[in-house]
């Protein structure tokens, strides 16, 4: 009968080899995990040191904090800056508001009637791209309130088709508790055809922006009786002011709002209304987006005498001849966001007046 001892020895040696391989794998896993943790800790500490102790690191931190602080997640900015820096950022984005009054620097009605009344220019910067839309006759512009169903606002495409507008941009911001807002409740003043639709926001940093019946853009702090006395037809509220009576409002830093998609409205000396809508958040081939200072610089480049930011972020949208032409940073399957209202451009003044008459 053959001996089974060699087979038993082989089995014992095989089991020992397997145990050794398992031991080595566990050892390699443990060493690898500890090395990865050490690398992460050292990287975190290194980044923290660089972020707080080097000039470029501080600028990066502040830029990220500005971008966050202007969103509904503003509390997260506390993790990026010191308490003093946080207070300074809040001071920047809550800059004082200046009244334009009925500015004598602007003369609406300067459009000759020759050439297209609307021009759209593509613009690009290092971190953004987008459009500047020039409307040479301001009397064609109206603030159009959304048809609200429950708490849900209206897409700008639906608003424009409903009233017969040919172009437009978003205007007011809207209540967005816990990120669940649907554009049905505007933030701040909504004043349409001389009628108060929604009360003003009682905040000294918020600017009232409106048009008189002659097409003059008015900005500042005004009561409803003051708006009526000036002949303001439509108005809403947002911030910050960018240009007031020819003077740039952001003179230090980039405005404190970080980078993101932007919408703004302004007016040149001849009455031409300047709409700016810029892409950001890596949509449409853009980077993070634009700072408010970059928007202001574009406004000045196009000759703005007065200009103010509108709601930005995922709400930034430009409608022109039946479609959205920018790249809104929204996850909505329709590619646009529900809005409480919009600045819309009508094909003729008669069509704009007919909209108000039919309200």
> Is residue 320 within 8 Å of 290, Cβ to Cβ?
no
User: 């809104």: which residue's tokens?
Assistant: 328
Looking at mean pLDDT, say which of 30-39, 51-60, 169-178, 241-250 comes out highest.
241-250
| Residue 70 pLDDT | 67
**Predicted TM-score (pTM) above 0.85:** no
| Residue 357 pLDDT | 82
Mean pLDDT check: name the lowest of 86-90, 275-279, 329-333. 86-90
> Is residue 249 within 8 Å of 257, Cβ to Cβ?
no
> Is residue 235 within 8 Å of 228, Cβ to Cβ?
no
Which of the 8 DSSP states describes residue 171?
A: -
- For 9-28, give the DSSP string: HHHHHHHHHHHHHHHHHHHH
The average pLDDT across 193-217 equals 97
Give the span between the Cα atoms of 340 and 185, in whole angstroms. Answer: 6
Q: Is residue 260 very low, low, confident or very high in pLDDT (cuts 50, 70, 90)?
A: very high
Mean pLDDT check: name the lowest of 26-30, 69-73, 310-314, 341-345. 26-30
Mean pLDDT check: name the lowest of 88-97, 164-173, 318-327. 88-97
Return the structure tokens found at 202: 């009682």
For the beta carbon of residue 207, count every other beta carbon within 10 angstroms. 27
Q: Is residue 51 very low, low, confident or very high in pLDDT (cuts 50, 70, 90)?
A: very low
């Amino acid at each position: 009968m053959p001996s089974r001892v060699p087979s038993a020895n082989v089995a014992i040696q095989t089991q020992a080899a397997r145990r050794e391989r398992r031991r080595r794998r566990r050892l390699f896993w443990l060493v690898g995990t500890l090395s990865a943790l050490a690398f992460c800790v050292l990287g975190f500490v290194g980044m923290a040191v660089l972020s707080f102790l080097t000039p470029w690191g501080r600028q990066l931190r502040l830029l990220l904090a500005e971008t966050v602080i202007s969103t509904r997640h503003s509390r997260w900015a506390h993790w990026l800056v010191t308490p003093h820096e946080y207070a300074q950022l809040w001071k920047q984005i809550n800059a004082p508001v200046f009244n334009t009054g009925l500015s004598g620097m602007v003369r609406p009605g300067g459009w000759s009637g020759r050439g297209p009344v609307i021009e759209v220019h593509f613009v690009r910067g290092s971190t953004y791209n987008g459009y500047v839309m020039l409307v040479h006759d301001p009397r064609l512009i109206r603030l159009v309130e959304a048809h609200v169903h429950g708490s849900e606002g209206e897409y700008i495409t639906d608003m424009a088709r409903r009233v017969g507008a040919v172009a437009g941009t978003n205007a007011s911001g809207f209540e967005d508790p816990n990120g669940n807002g649907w554009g049905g409740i505007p933030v701040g003043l909504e004043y349409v055809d001389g009628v108060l639709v929604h009360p003003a926001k009682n905040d000294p940093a918020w600017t009232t922006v409106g048009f008189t019946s002659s097409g003059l853009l008015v900005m500042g702090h005004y009561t409803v009786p003051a708006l009526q006395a000036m002949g303001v037809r439509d108005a809403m509220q947002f911030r910050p002011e960018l240009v007031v009576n020819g003077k740039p409002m952001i003179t230090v830093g980039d405005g404190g709002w970080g980078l993101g998609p932007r919408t703004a409205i302004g007016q040149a000396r001849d009455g031409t209304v300047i709409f700016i809508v810029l892409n950001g958040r890596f949509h449409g081939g853009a980077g993070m987006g634009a700072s408010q200072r970059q928007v202001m610089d574009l406004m000045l480049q196009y000759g703005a005498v007065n200009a103010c930011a509108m709601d930005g972020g995922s709400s930034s949208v430009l409608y022109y001849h039946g479609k959205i032409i920018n790249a809104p940073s929204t996850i909505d399957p329709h590619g646009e966001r529900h809005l409480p209202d919009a600045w819309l451009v009508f094909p003729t003044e008669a069509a704009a007046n007919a909209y108000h008459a039919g309200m």
